[in-house]
Amino acid sequence: MRALLGRLLLAVVMATSTVLVAGAPAHAAGSVSWSVEPVTAAGDATGHPWVELTMDPGTRQEQYLRVTNRGAAAVVFSLSAADGYFTETGRFTMLPVGRSSVDAGTWITLPASVSVDPGASVVIPFTVDVPANATPGDHLAGVAAGVFSEQDTVGVESRIGFRVLTRVTGDLALAVSSAATADYQPSWNPFLPGRLEVHLSTRNTGNTRLTAQNEIAVTGPLGLAARTTRSDPLPELAPGDERSSTVTVEDVWPLFAMTAVVTATASDAGGNSDGVTATARVTVPAMPWGQLLVAGCAVALVALALWDRRRRRRHWVDMVEQAREQGRRDAATGVWTLGIAVLFAFGAFGVAPSPAHASEPVDVTVDISPHPEPKTPASPGTGQALAQTGAPVSVLLAVGGVVVVGGGATAWTISRRREARRASSPPTEPSS
């Protein structure tokens, strides 16, 4: 049962195959090959790949097509007419077999079939009758010659033909509308711009065939980073047709919000009227996350460098101040040491008893009588005390003064040399 349904579905799909390329030969089952093209009543080629007519409502015109059998056997070709339309790629085609026409396909009358001998051609007339109530504008249809064949129990109809475009006179309205959405795609590298993808929808809202092209102008806030890009021309649009396309605008820097203004410029495919424009506007967020991260890191590095510079400068100033304070302390210590040494020297050489002059009289009393009590040191002021302590005290004071003076001078000299060395090589401020 499933296999049968699958075959039926495949048969329906294959039965809708249609080729509408004027003058190009088609190949069907076996060696069948043929071509279809518009011609004059005398059978001469018109020089155009299709038929374009301008007719008033309620009028009729007769046209001609030629079917050429390029195969090795006679073939009966089925002839048909149907409404036409453009695909998304701009290719013109007819409604498939099984779908009824409601517009210009019903205006065409032609024989149901024609038999053509091998290598021969047959010119077939057909008429186009425009109803009296036909609406002004362009109406699309096509005529074709085809053969029916069976392949693997599946019926396939192959057709080849050309388009018949009828423009009904009256109030022609050339109009277009445009809509847009957009997406911003940032670059992985924060030092490179991203791209803006604009998704466009262009619709033919008039009653004539159009050719259109879009222009996209991208700007940031206050008109910054403006860029303009043109899209490729759109395939032809019949009345009511809509085309979707995507245009990528490169080298767009993220400025928090980007605005894309889309201008669709359309012109009459028949070249009988001036062009029209339509505008659409879309704004999308474009956050510069990568650039903000880089800027934040740069600011942090600058702040760290300034802080380190100030820290090292304060440290240098503190070291200089400490050196100066140490120098002041060493100088004060040397002064105090020198003062103490001077005082000791003054006491040694200035206060010590000086020797008695020969001219001064000296009264000496000598008692040679035995004394029963133990001998004790004489009281001060006696001749015995003078003889025991006069000269040794002066020598000790002199030696002590010299030692103190020499030590103080040595300490002062050492402190001065240390201060001189520090002053000659002060700490330098490191470069930042």
What is the domain-level CATH number for residue 206? Answer: 2.60.40.1470
Q: Which of 114, 144, 168 is the last residue of a domain?
A: 168
Residue 370 domain flag:
no
Q: Are residues 269 and 196 in the same domain?
A: yes
Cα-atom radius of gyration of the chain, to the nearest Å? 60
pLDDT tens for 23-46 read 555 555 457 899 999 999 999 999
pLDDT-derived band at 356 (thresholds 50, 70, 90) equals very low
* Distance of alpha carbon 37 from alpha carbon 21, whole angstroms: 9
- 95-104, 151-160, 358-367, 397-406, range with greatest mean pLDDT: 95-104
Q: Are residues 160 and 283 in the same domain?
A: no
The pLDDT score that the predictor gives to residue 118 is 93
pLDDT-derived band at 384 (thresholds 50, 70, 90) equals very low
**pLDDT at residue 273 tops 50:** yes
Q: Which of 117, 134, 168 is the last residue of a domain?
A: 168
Angle subtended at Cα 83 by Cα 169 and Cα 53, rounded to the nearest 5 degrees: 35
Residue with the bigger pLDDT between 392 and 225: it is 225
- Taking the alpha carbons at both ends of the chain, their separation in whole angstroms is 87
Cα→Cα distances 126→107, 142, 173, 201, Å = 10, 12, 29, 38
pLDDT tens for 171-182 read 989 999 999 999
Q: Are residues 239 and 326 in the same domain?
A: no
Residue 382 domain flag:
no
Residue 228 domain flag:
yes
Yes or no: say if 86 and 210 are a contact pair by the CB < 8 Å rule.
no
Beta bridge partners of 218: 227, 260
Q: Are residues 48 and 65 in the same domain?
A: yes
The pLDDT score that the predictor gives to residue 191 is 92
Residue with the bigger pLDDT between 330 and 280: it is 280
**pLDDT at residue 355 tops 60:** no
Q: Are residues 164 and 181 in the same domain?
A: no
Q: Are residues 112 and 193 in the same domain?
A: no
pLDDT-derived band at 327 (thresholds 50, 70, 90) equals confident
Residue 364 domain flag:
no
**Domain of 78: which CATH number?**
2.60.40.10
Q: Are residues 160 and 37 in the same domain?
A: yes
Q: 401 is in which domain, residue-wise? A: 309-352+393-432
The first and second tokens of residue 292, run together, are 């903000």
The first and second tokens of residue 264, run together, are 């669709």
Yes or no: say if 51 and 63 are a contact pair by the CB < 8 Å rule.
yes
Residue 385 domain flag:
no
pLDDT-derived band at 379 (thresholds 50, 70, 90) equals very low
**pLDDT at residue 404 tops 60:** yes
Q: Based on the structure, what is the number of domains in the chain?
A: 3
Cα→Cα distances 246→199, 201, 249, 325, Å = 4, 9, 10, 78
- Tell me what the pLDDT averaged over the chain comes to: 81
Exposure letters 352-361 (e unless 16+ CB within 10 A, then b): beeeeeeeee
DSSP summary character for residue 171:
-
pLDDT tens for 194-245 read 999 999 999 999 999 999 999 999 999 998 989 999 999 999 999 999 999 9
Q: Are residues 153 and 220 in the same domain?
A: no
Q: Are residues 116 and 134 in the same domain?
A: yes
Residue 249 domain flag:
yes
Q: Which amino acid is at 32?
A: V
Q: Are residues 191 and 131 in the same domain?
A: no
Q: Which of 168, 186, 210 is the last residue of a domain?
A: 168
Q: Are residues 164 and 186 in the same domain?
A: no
Q: In the predicted model, what is the mean pLDDT of residues 346-374?
A: 54
Q: Are residues 19 and 64 in the same domain?
A: yes
pLDDT-derived band at 151 (thresholds 50, 70, 90) equals low
Residue 9 domain flag:
yes
Residue with the bigger pLDDT between 399 and 356: it is 399
Residue with the bigger pLDDT between 370 and 118: it is 118
Q: pTM score, two decimals?
A: 0.63
Residue 314 domain flag:
yes
Yes or no: say if 82 and 141 are a contact pair by the CB < 8 Å rule.
yes
- 51-65, 141-155, 273-287, 313-327, range with greatest mean pLDDT: 51-65
Q: In the predicted model, what is the mean pLDDT of residues 140-158?
A: 79
